[in-house]
Amino acid sequence: MAQALYRRWRPQRWENVIGQDHIIQTLRNAVAADRVAHAYLFAGPRGTGKTTTARLLAKAVNCLEPDLANRPCDACENCLAVNQGRFLDMIEIDAASNTSVDDVRDLRDKINFSPNVGRFKVYIIDEVHMLSPAAFNALLKTLEEPPAHAIFILATTEVHKIPATVLSRCQRHEFRRIPHMEIVEHLQRMSAGEGLEVEDAALQLIARQATGSLRDAISLLDQLASANEQVSLERARQVLGTVTSQAVVDLVDYLIHKDTAAGLELIHRTLDSGSDPRQFARQIVDYLRSLLLSKLGNANQVDATAEIRERMAKHAQAIETSHLLNMIRAFNQAGNEMRSGWQPALPLEMAFVEVMEQSAGSGEEERKLPDAKPTRPTRRAVVKIPMEESPPTGVPEIETTVESRSVNPVDQESRETYEKIQQSWDPAIIKQVDGINKETAGLLRSTKLLGMRRGVLIIGFYGQILKQKMEAGNHLEITEKILTEFIGRTVPVRCLALNDRQSEIPADVDLDGMVAAALRDLGGKIVDVH
Amino acid sequence: MNWNLLGHEWAVEMLRGKLQRSQPGHAYLITGPEGVGKRTLGLRLGAALNCLTPVVPGEPCFTCRNCRLIERMQHPDLSVVQAEEIGGTLKVDQVRELQRQLSLAPYEAAYRVALLLRFEEAHPSAANALLKMLEEPPARVIFILTAENAERLLETIVSRCEVLRLRPLPLALAMQGLQERWGIPPEQATLLAHLANGRIGYAVRLHQDGDFLDRRERWLDDLMRLLPANRVERFSYAESQSRDRAALRLLFGIWLTFWRDVLLVSGGAAVPLTNVDREAQVRLLAERLSLKEARQMVSRIEEALFALDGNANTRLVLEVFLLDLPVLQALPI
């Protein structure tokens, strides 16, 4: 029975370890200078080379090669013994199967005997996060001051489960995920070495799927490999259940053009042809993320062909950032949905329809707002006040229905004034204030302009303390004076304290009205507007 | 020949290729929804590995002693490890016992096969205990793990295995298979294939569970009856259905497929429906409700199922759902 590729290609020399130069260099130097520490901790995600490096280090310290810098030589008696797994002084312990304190006591009893053949006894404790707390504690003394001939190497994927007392006794090395390109290059070398024919695009897909874990990538290649056939992108896609990038682009197209029917049919078609719904959702998220990146001006971080880039630019223009975020959220959730036994396609369909609803909602509002403003009819808002703040009469929830006085028809003049202030608030007005009183200017910088009601300018502070400070000294007077100079007439100023909830007071709610009071002072929440 | 399986040709072909070159991988993870054929594929792989008189290399005969014993899960070199019951926990002691067995050479077959079923039910310490052996097993040991989906396992487990993601069969193939292999009449086969969404094993299980179709019929009728009903009637229905949690889960499952159909139709998609026999009702509802309302009903049912998993009061869950159910005038059924 042939060994799996990832075992056959386990690096046997320092040079062959991929993507962990920062660690390998340190360890090589330590071996060359004969200054190897007595305890190491290797941490990092799966398939990044922890066990491999641990074995290499064990090999290096026991190698017989006279030139220290050249160890391990991979040719001497000891090196060969390690390669074949029959070296007596490299003790590899599966901490996940030997978790108990008795196992550690056993280790402690035996560690004092000197090595059989090599210079050092190397204890590799793999999956060390599974040791019981008692076992960790039993190890502490030995780990701190082991006999001169012993070296500990602990390896784990879950470093947060290791007690601090163990961490502080070890030299800790963090293994990184292996960059995409290095995986591809390594796979190319391997397939050449194994005589496999692999399409370049398939390698790219494999590497992307592996998300930085070399073992994942090699496993996949192993699975796809077959002696007489080329590994094609088509085959890789079928095994992985990924969809073509065209399908993803089309789906986003339908989202933008609000074509529900076509979108749902596309989802059905892709899944029917054998794609995995989770993979599909993830690919959509991936694409949307690229859109987000290119929208935020980081287009060069996106790894795509010129053709797709062009489509992307078009899409990026058609979607608003906030909507894009919503889409990413919805599809991300679909990708993580665990329970989908009944209807595998359902999470995707739901995400699609939800996004559609949101875009329809926001679109309507945009259209409604501008022309609805001047003649808004009297509206009633239902405010729900959370339970903990309701009076202790046992009534769980109070629904107050209040008439929010319709917004005073904002007279032209005051709106113009507000716009003028808004434009020159920061820095022009604040700068003038700064000339008179620096503290006032400082306070004003941490405010938010909320609006103008009946000729009174309303500014909001993030917190009660700032608001009180503003009202305490002559800060208001200074501000009003500057504003008067600026506008040409008296503009009174009112302060409000905002907290995160209050910042949600919609623009059309009268700040003095009962709705605002319920929102601000009672911690209510608008649940419905009639 | 396809290992006497229905569908999953690509997986069989890949595995057979490896066997023909006698390079089987040492660990496979077979994933897919319930009843899609994971265990069957695992057993067939075991048979293909150990068949004494293969028809052609990599194609088991299904008649020799090894093939028959493995198919019945009685072969001495086949270790089946699973949680004691569905929804239970696979314990670390079971894994340790398995490791002990696997360190011995095969008794009579070429390979020792360790079949670990529903591995998402493994206790974290059990999964961790398997890691080292899964990476570098003794010679002539093959691990076959099955799980509903790979995300529910430790990353470190998945990365050591070759993953085969089984997917439901195309509906046409499932229908044909149900008719030919299990002798189910065409009409029923069509319905079962749709209900099981192409999961052949699940469809057969539904078929064998004699009164499932009757119950489904009743539940969908109930739903139709409840739509125009007032609160009193709805609440008395909730009371009558709240005794049996498992049945309630199934009921919500059926309703979920129904409302998804409504969602698809009201979205205008030309996609095959799950409840093919109820198409008229689905269309009627889709006409009366908006896409958003249909979507909300699906969400409500998902929430209800989630609540049921979380051990919520069954009657309360059903009552809440029925309160959210829109009130419609009687449908001409």
Give the integer Cα–Cα distance in Å for A496 and A520. 10
Tens digit of pLDDT for each residue in B187-226? Answer: 888 888 888 888 888 889 888 887 888 899 999 999 998 9
Question: What element of type H or E holds A184?
Answer: helix A180-194
Tens digit of pLDDT for each residue in B149-176? Answer: 888 899 999 999 999 988 888 888 889 9
pTM, rounded to two decimals: 0.73
Closest CA to B321 of B310, B311, B305, B332: B305
Amino acid at A37: A
Closest CA to A154 of A274, A53, A236, A60: A53
B162 touches A: beta carbon within 8 Å: yes
- In sequence order, the 6+-apart residues with CB closer than 8 A to the CB of A21 are none
The pLDDT of residue A405: 39
Question: Is the predicted pLDDT of residue B293 greater than 80, yes or no?
Answer: yes
Q: How many CB pairs under 8 A join A and B?
A: 152
- In sequence order, the 6+-apart residues with CB closer than 8 A to the CB of A61 are A31, A36, A71, A118, A119, A120, A122, A151
A220: nearest CA in chain B? B162
Contact B305 A215 (CB under 8 A): no
Helices A200-210 and A214-224, axial angle in degrees (round to 10): 140
Out of A99, A265, A357, whose CB is closest to B295?
Answer: A357
Partner A, chain B 116-145, Cβ-Cβ below 8 Å: 125, 128-133, 135-136, 139-140
Contact B229, A376 (CB under 8 A): no
Give the integer Cα–Cα distance in Å for B167 and B146. 13
Tens digit of pLDDT for each residue in B91-136? Answer: 999 999 999 999 999 988 899 999 999 999 999 999 999 999 999 8
Contact B269 A261 (CB under 8 A): yes
Contact B260 A349 (CB under 8 A): yes
Closest CA to A94 of B79, B125, B145, B120: B125
Helices A214-224 and A180-194, axial angle in degrees (round to 10): 40
The pLDDT of residue A370: 39
Chain B positions in Cβ-Cβ contact with residue A224 (cut-off 8 Å) = 14
Handedness of CA A23, A29, A31, A35 (dihedral sign): negative
The pLDDT of residue A512: 63
ipTM comes to 0.84
The pLDDT of residue A393: 42
Contact A285, A332 (CB under 8 A): yes
Using DSSP, how many helices (H) and how many strands (E) does chain B show? Answer: 15, 5
Mean pLDDT, 10 residues at a time, chain A of 530 residues: 83 93 95 94 94 94 92 92 92 92 93 92 95 94 94 95 95 93 93 89 90 91 78 85 86 90 91 83 90 81 72 85 90 78 81 85 44 41 47 42 42 72 79 82 80 77 79 82 80 74 59 69 69
Give the integer Cα–Cα distance in Å for B181 and B9. 18
Buried b (16+ CB within 10 A) or exposed e, B32-46: bbebbbbbbbbbbbb
Closest CA to A344 of A352, A353, A335: A335
Closest CA to B133 of A307, A427, A357, A98: A98
Out of A47, A223, A264, whose CB is closest to B25?
Answer: A223
Give the integer Cα–Cα distance in Å for A237 and A348. 19
B12: nearest CA in chain A? A239
The DSSP secondary structure of B269-289, one letter per residue, reads -----S-GGGHHHHHHHHHHS
Pairing mode, if any, of strands A456-462 and A447-453? antiparallel
The pLDDT of residue A457: 81
∠ at Cα B101 (B97, B103), nearest 5°?
120
Backbone angles phi, psi at A384, to 5 degrees: -105, 135
The pLDDT of residue B40: 93
Paired tokens of A6: 């990832």
The pLDDT of residue A463: 75
